[in-house]
Chains A and B, each alone.
Chain A
Amino acid sequence: MELTVNEKRLLLILQKHTSADAEVLADELAADPGSVVQWAHLAAGRDLVRIMRDVRERYHLTEEGELYAQEGLPERQVIESIDGEIPMGELSRHPLAKVAIGWMRKYGWIRIEGGIAKKAASIPETDDERALRAIASGEDETPGIGDLKSRGLVAISEEVRWNISITPKGDEIVRKGLDLRPEIGTLTREQILSGSWRDESLRRYSLATPPRRIYPGKIHPYRRILDEVRTLLLEMGFSEFSGDIVQSAFWNFDALFQPQDHPAREMQDTFYLDVTSPLPDGWEKIRDMHEHGGATSSTGWGGRWNPEKARASVLRTHSTALSIQYLAAHPEPPVKAFSLSRVYRRESIDPTHLAEFEQLEGIVMDNDVTFNNLLGFLKEFYHRMGFSDVRFRPAYFPYTEPSVEPEVWVDGLGWVELGGAGIFREEVTAPFGITQPVLAWGLGISRVAMLRLGLSDLRQLYKSDIDWVRSTPSYRRS
């Protein structure tokens, strides 16, 4: 059992007294009674002392009571001012008359006859006067106290007294001897080198006292999820790519066979910039594809394709704009690549829509890869992301055919649509000389983060409330 120095000092004093009030002990220990009670509680927890809490009611005089204790109660002061008899009219002019007359009549000190007050022969001391005298002199229980209270001359206060007594166990410990040397907190270099620490009393710290809170520098909780996805794809043999935020409409839309009058291309959905971008060599193949399907079995969209529209610059609306450029630069199979990039949509910002968010985009290009492989890959990917139930629904995207929307089961939410996928249309790949199928999928990873972090507002990912970052654990066993 490790006692604090203060507990030890308390026990030593107590052994002398066996039992004493905290105030007495405080005097002897040169401490305040509150501290003594605190130390006593520590020792009581170890069964070394016993604490008795005694609450007593104490009477004390009110301000008015104090005054009367010195000058006499109003009835006494008034009666003494009367000599034999006095007309009531005159009596009532005494400043204390209002209070005094009632009492004097009650005690039979005066009799009123024909408007004249006549004083009794003897005026004995009343209970109220005796009680007032007793309380003023510090005595406790007094008969007649009830009247003084109702007269507002006496009030009651509670007085808590702590009586502390040593237990046999405490007594035994003191008998065995107590070490009263001051305790050492932080060790010094000298104490360690000299070994003098052995002669010191080293403080043992209480584990019940919580430590000071400090916060480590750490990865953002959302980055942790992005890193997890990135690692997962690298493990699966994918290469990472990135690119410019500003893209030509050519790469963002036209190269992906998005018709030039497609609603997603309009100003209200896409951020345009006051900059034009050059068209890459071979842009005519894209024009032909749009107008009549080029050399493929496609009919194309028909109409005229306008190169000026393709030269406009936009903030990339999807990372597919980067995927197609990566493919154009790596037309030889096999290709397995991914990017985790911010994409931009001209959306009004609310809890579930942001103007910018992360998108994961992956492509697999090889001889003989199939739609069946795509579904297999998606299943594997979502399993690794922690979603065990995955199902597929037909979907539509302008640049993939067939297209599919994977859905995952989330307890409490049901089937949640999570991204889109498909095989790049031949209209997309043929102009770049790619003859193998390209499996492609995209995923708004911020939605996954929302599910995983239990957020109801997407903005929280980017606003970074420091308390939220600090209180989100870096690792949680899955």
Chain B
Amino acid sequence: MAIITLNYEYLERLCRTDRETILAAIPMIGSDIERLEEDHADVEFFPDRTDLYSVEGVARAMRGFLGIETGLPDYPVGESGITFSIDPGLVGIRPCLGSAVIRGLSFDEASIESLMALQEALHWAIGRGRSKVAIGVHDLSTVTPPFRYIASPRDRRFVPLDETREMTMEEMLTDHPKGRMFAGLVADFDRFPLIVDAEDAVLSFPPIINGELTRITEETTDILLDVTGTDERAVEKTVSIICTALAEAGGRIESVTIDGVCCPSLAPVERTIDADACARLLGIPVTRDSIIPLLEKMRFGAEPLKGSSVRVTVPCYRADIMHDWDIFEDVAIAWGFNHFSGDLPPTFTIGKADPAMELARIVSEVAIGLGYTEVMPFTLTNERVSYEYMQRPVSDRALRVLHPISLENTMLRTDLLPALLEILSANKHRELPQRIFAVGDVNDHTLTYQKVAGAATHPGADFSEVYATIDALLRECARETSIAPSEDPAFLPGRQGAICIGSEVVGSFGELHPDVILAFDLEHPVIGFELDLRSFL
């Protein structure tokens, strides 16, 4: 979750309106206000709107939404004359690079924090924990262009951020906190990614750590941005989001030439949409002309074309516009989710219950008639309860989860009865008699199907009672069944039976073995039954 801290004063200055107006409207562009504090608000934005991960980005969107400044924002890009080269040895390691120079910034403690927070949020949302994208910002005055992005030997030494001594890059992976956190991303490579200047001074060891040399301070005015990664598009979007946020903060963007290609472009992307299609999807009366102010409110550029077509220019910082419907959603947001009339869908259909669920309801009704109360245990269980306590062999049809959260939840249940005995155990000190049942999913390997099971405990519980109970249940289900002798170790010998349809065993019942009763920490006699419901469908 990306939670962005919005300082009220800065936000008000950027939005050119008061905080009450802004805070009232902020949830309506798609966010969740987590906390309102004295001087700031903590607001969660969704992972698709990475352009809202900075105060500047939020202010840009809010100015549009509130009608203070609408349409496509313009971000001119000057030329820095600085060049960058990429070492071909980085192919297969971390081949993509984006960069820019931003000049004329003024930093204080708070704005440095804010820039770091934007980087962290982008590392999470686009960078996938720095694997896809990693960001470095550097004080440009501390280094000398041109810059080189190289695949370096692992024993190259430099002073990493927050350290005073030189370390080898290998050492950083074990001895530096950031190194330990992200070591897994590079550990397997023979050479490590490294950014150096004309004098071979180190700027950054992406995606692990920057050099101490280029640390941003309150004296910094000009910065060099590097974004490295494994995905060209993600790198490009990240550069755009950071550059435009810093431009909103008052910086001037200048391009860098990377192996002859000018970066960043910050040019909008054009898409042609059909206003009628938008009206049809949303169910609101927008037209080619009336859609334009709605689009501009969301900071798109828009101009009418022929028929119902509209040319939409999508600002470079929007990473979420993949499809026309992504633009239609913004039209709906501009329209206001709470201004929709909310007409019911006209679709006429006749509802139909799932036969398995219907059977479950009927079986439940019979069980209730027999004095049993329904319980709804978990489907995740463990071998101890399912087999060991029941004195039954471990089923080879049981599916175990790979990384269980606890020893209690290691497998999907294959039977219901053990779960019922667990519930009786938890209710040991409640008034007797207790008669409980459950209808629910069990798994035979990957196949899910339904069973019913019941269990009862009280001083007089015996085989006659359970035989009579299962007999009544089977009579209500009107299917030819027979009872055969069985040797289920969970039940007492000679006080149990198997329920069969033809030669297939579909259920069991009996008096629970005293050792099973004790294993579940129970004391009075316990009876139980269990039935596969598939054969009754």
Residues of A within 8 A of B (CB): 213, 215-220, 222-223, 227, 230, 233-246, 261, 263, 267-268, 271-275, 277, 293, 296-303, 313, 315, 333-336, 342, 344, 346-349, 355-356, 364, 366, 368-380, 391-396, 401-404, 417, 423, 425-427, 437, 439, 461-467, 469-470
Contact = CB atoms under 8 A, between A and B. Distances in A.
A217 B368 contact: yes
A245 B448 contact: yes
Nearest to B352: A239
B345 A364 contact: yes
B368 A394 contact: no
Contact of A302 (B128, B231, B345, B402): B231
B478 interface: no
A461 B376 contact: yes
A69 to B, nearest CB: 56
A277 B447 CA distance: 12
A370 B280 contact: yes
Interface of B: 27-30, 32, 46-49, 128, 131-132, 231-233, 271, 280-284, 322-326, 328-329, 332-333, 337-338, 340-354, 356-357, 361, 364, 367-380, 399-406, 409, 412, 423, 426-427, 430-431, 434-436, 441, 443, 445-448
Given A223-B376, A245-B441, A373-B343, A238 B322 contact: no
A427 B405 contact: no
Given A372-B282, A375-B342, A299 B378 contact: no
B448 A467 contact: no
Contact of B326 (A218, A267, A336, A401): A401
Contacts of A220: 373-376
Given A234-B351, A298-B323, 4 more contacts: A219-B364, A394-B333, A463-B423, A464-B436
B446 A244 contact: yes
Contacts of A417: 32
Contacts of B323: 293, 296-299, 401, 425-427
Given A376-B341, A466-B434, A394 B329 contact: yes
A244 B399 CA distance: 13
Contacts of A303: 231
B349 A239 contact: yes
A102 to B, nearest CB: 63
A297 B323 CA distance: 5
A466 B458 CA distance: 14
Contacts of A374: 345
Given A271-B403, A297-B323, A371-B332, A334 B344 contact: no
Contacts of B374: 218-220, 223, 469
A237 B374 CA distance: 28
B347 A364 contact: yes
B325 A401 contact: yes
A218 B401 contact: no
A318 to B, nearest CB: 16
Contacts of B346: 366, 369, 373
A263 B441 CA distance: 29
Contact of A217 (B29, B46, B372): B372
16 contacts: A217-B367, A219-B364, A240-B351, A275-B446, A293-B322, A335-B349, A370-B282, A372-B282, A373-B345, A376-B341, A379-B342, A391-B337, A393-B30, A394-B29, A462-B378, A465-B427
B337 A240 contact: no
Contacts of B233: 302
Given A336-B347, A371-B340, A391-B338, A349 B406 contact: yes
Contacts of B447: 244
Nearest to A213: B431
A333 to B, nearest CB: 8
B325 A426 contact: yes
B46 A273 contact: no
A241 B352 CA distance: 9
A267 B340 CA distance: 40
A396 B350 CA distance: 31
B402 A372 contact: no
Contact of B375 (A244, A301, A469): A469
A213 B432 CA distance: 11
Contacts of B400: 273-274
Contacts of B436: 464, 466
Contacts of B351: 233-240, 336
Contact of A395 (B46, B367, B441): B46
A334 B348 CA distance: 8
Nearest to A354: B378
A393 B446 contact: no
A347 B370 CA distance: 37
A393 B46 CA distance: 12
A371 B338 contact: no
Nearest to A370: B283
A298 B351 CA distance: 34
A349 B405 contact: yes
A372 B341 contact: yes
Contacts of A370: 280-283
A256 B322 CA distance: 15
B50 to A, nearest CB: 11
Contacts of A243: 448
A41 B65 CA distance: 81
A213 B282 CA distance: 58
Contact of A336 (B27, B30, B349): B349
B353 A366 contact: no
B345 A402 contact: no
Given A263-B128, A393-B28, A404 B353 contact: no
B378 to A, nearest CB: 5
Nearest to A315: B401
Given A218-B368, A348-B405, A395-B46, A462 B377 contact: yes
B282 A466 contact: no
B401 A271 contact: yes
A336 B375 CA distance: 30
B505 to A, nearest CB: 23
A297 B281 CA distance: 15
Contacts of A223: 364, 374, 376
Contacts of B361: 227
A446 to B, nearest CB: 10
Q: Which among B348, B369, B402 has the highest number of chain A CB atoms within 10 Å? A: B402
**In this complex, which of B46, B283, B350, B434 has the most chain A Cβ atoms within 10 angstroms of its Cβ?**
B283
B436 to A, nearest CB: 7
Given A371-B281, A423-B325, A272 B30 contact: no
Contacts of A403: 329
Contacts of B353: 230, 234, 239-240
Across the A-B interface, give the 5 residue pairs with the lowest CB-CB distance, nearest first: A370-B283, A372-B283, A394-B30, A396-B46, A402-B329
Contacts of B326: 401
A425 B320 CA distance: 13
A1 B434 CA distance: 41
A277 B401 contact: no
A86 to B, nearest CB: 74
Contacts of B446: 244, 246, 273, 275, 277, 313
Which among B233, B280, B337, B341 has the greatest number of chain A C-beta atoms within 10 A? Answer: B337
A372 B375 contact: no
A213 B351 CA distance: 41
Contacts of A470: 373
Given A394-B28, A404-B337, A272 B441 contact: no
Contact of A334 (B131, B284, B349): B349
A216 B374 CA distance: 11
A356 B380 contact: yes
A244 to B, nearest CB: 4
B30 A369 contact: no
B347 A334 contact: yes
A190 to B, nearest CB: 29
Given A371-B281, A393-B28, A366 B345 contact: yes
A215 B377 CA distance: 21
Nearest to A373: B345
A379 B343 CA distance: 9
